[in-house]
Amino acid sequence: MLKATLRSFLAHKGRLVLSALAIILSVAFVAGSLIFSDTVTRTSTGCSPPPRPT
């Protein structure tokens, strides 16, 4: 089974690269969105972090 998996990876290098690129871009987009929303929240509340829930 491992041999067939490795053979498939080697046969479809382009697909592997494009899949890895898609994963990297999507993770970067989500991280960027979270950073942007946190930045907007902090600047709109006077540069202080939001209160912690108790």
pLDDT digits (tens, 9 = 90+) for 20-48: 999 999 999 999 999 999 988 888 766 66
Give the Cα separation of 14 and 33 in Å (integer): 28
Tell me the C-alpha to C-alpha distance, in Å, between residue 47 and each of 2, 17, 27, 35, 39. 53, 41, 27, 14, 9
At residue 18 the predicted structure's pLDDT band, cuts being 50, 70 and 90, is very high
DSSP 47: S
Give the Cα separation of 13 and 23 in Å (integer): 15
Query: Which run of H or of E encompasses 32?
Result: helix 13-44
Q: Quick one: average pLDDT of 9-29?
A: 93
